[in-house]
Structures are given as structure tokens and as C-alpha cells.
Amino acid sequence: MKILTAKVVFCIGFLMASSAQAYSSYSSSDGATYRFGWSGIRVDHTTNYNGQTSTDVQTNHINTKFSYTFSNGIYLGALYEFSSFAIGTGTPPPDQRISYGPTLGFYNSGFYIEGTYFTNSTYTFANGLSYSGGSASQFEIGYLMNMTSNFYLGFGLTMANFSWNQAATGGISVSQTNNQSDTYPCLNLGFSF
């Protein structure tokens, strides 16, 4: 029996946050700090169609983050987002989404809220068709806690919206719209210095 990984991971993250004592915010003597970390999740599940057929689906979301937090809690940074979507087993390879852009956020007593505007975003299907252009953004809220003076763990909730307006395959590009939205829980880990 398959267990929805997202629910298990989110529950573990919630229990970690509830049971661990939150340390003071990651800060140097002047209250400012750099952070480098990752947030993400892997979800494996089976989708049934009218009780007749079932399809295994594997989704991976990984966000790589770098930021500088000012003494007032506001932080500026950058985010690189990689997601893969595999339907079925074996071949073909999974669809992939790659996006990156600047991030603006606020951190206070372990809680954070951040928004990212992706200056570049591309979705590539396993068959080679790719979408690009348009606009994309991501919003995340969550809670972080220090495990040591320089290492943190946490959990969050990510909401992302993508709207591409260019399709390309085989060297031919046409104007075509494709939209996608994601909402998923995520685990965070990283380093502060």
C-alpha cells in the first residue's frame, strides 16, 4: 500500500517544529546574516481513473535559496526552482520545470514569508516540447528553527503560478499559452553564516 509521502513529511515537519525549542533568529552581532538552503518535497501517488486504470505519479520540487537578512528581518535573495513530473514507470524521462529569480522576504522569531518573481522559467516535456516566456511567481510561508548555531530545519507551504506564452519544438517556436499552478508543503534545511 502506497502512502502519500507529502502528508507524512508535512506531519514530521510539524511535529519537529512543535516539539523543538525555537532558538533566537540566525544573526551575527549586528543582527544581519547570510543563509544558504533548500526547501522541497517528493510526492509519490497513484491516480485512479473511474476505477478502471491507475497511473503512478512521482513529483519532485526542489528550491535552492541564497539570501541576506537585514537586522530588521527583511531579506533579499535569489531562488532556483527545479521540479520534475514523472507519469508511469521507466521511460520516458520526466517533464521538467526550471525557474529562477529574485526573492524578497521577512523573517521574525522563526516565522518567514517570502515572494519570488521568476525572471526566467521553462517547462520541458519528455517529448522535447518546451514552454517559456510569460510570467511566473512563487509565494512561501513557514517556520524555521536552529538545530545548531549555523544549521536550521523547518517546514513551509509553497504556492506557485506559471504562465508561459511561447512553445518550441524541433527548432520551431510559436506563440502558445500554457498555465500551471502548484501548492505543496515543503521541508527546509540550510546554513546561516
- Of the candidates 177, 76, 88, the one whose C-alpha atom is nearest the C-alpha of residue 136 is 177
Q: What is the pTM of this model?
A: 0.80
Residue 64: predicted pLDDT:
97
Spell out a b/e string for 154-172, using b for 16 or more CB atoms within 10 Å of the CB, else e.
Answer: bbbebebebbbebbbeeee
Quickly state the pLDDT bin for 15 (edges 50, 70, 90). very low
Residue 45 reports pLDDT greater than 90: no
Residue 57: predicted pLDDT:
81
The CATH label, of 1.10.1740, 1.10.3470, 3.30.70, 2.40.160, for the domain at 5-192 is 2.40.160
| Contact present, 57 and 84 (Cβ < 8 Å) | no
Q: What is the mean pLDDT of the chain?
A: 84
Cis bond leading into 92, ω under 30°?
yes
Kindly list the domain boundaries of the chain, sorted by start residue: 5-192
The dihedral over CA atoms of 111, 113, 118, 123, expressed in degrees to the nearest 10, equals 70
Q: What's the pLDDT tens digit per position in 86-110?
A: 887 665 678 999 999 999 999 999 9
